[in-house]
Amino acid sequence: MKILALDLGKYKTVGCDYERESGAHRFQARITTPAALAELVKEVKPDRVVIEVCNIAGWVSDLMRGLGVEVQVANTSDDAWRWRKVKKKNDRSDALKLARLSAVNQLGKCTFP
């Protein structure tokens, strides 16, 4: 399964293209616009897109579903998401953690229309 985890930002989004079977991953940064994110999804061709709950998650979720991609929304207040004793936290590490948690189905359920 190919997972695209997006660490959404107001101006920049970091995507982690993650292969569940091998754990191989690569990162790509894009501006946070519908056109740029749609282009990223068309390039990566993921089976699932994972995003965090945030103020732009609504239109991103609608965009991904419109492109025919499964969307998983992570509740960042869930225990699995907590960062403990992490010295280096950045957009890439957030995106990779989203992908890994999604791959092993450890993201809590988040109801999002």
Cα separation, 28 vs 50, in Å, equals: 15
Residue 76 neighbours by CB under 8 Å, 6+ apart: 52, 53
- Tens digit of pLDDT for each residue in 68-86? 999 988 877 666 556 555 5
- Tens digit of pLDDT for each residue in 47-68? 999 998 888 989 999 999 999 9
The pTM for the full model equals 0.82
2-103 folds as: Nucleotidyltransferase; domain 5 (3.30.420)
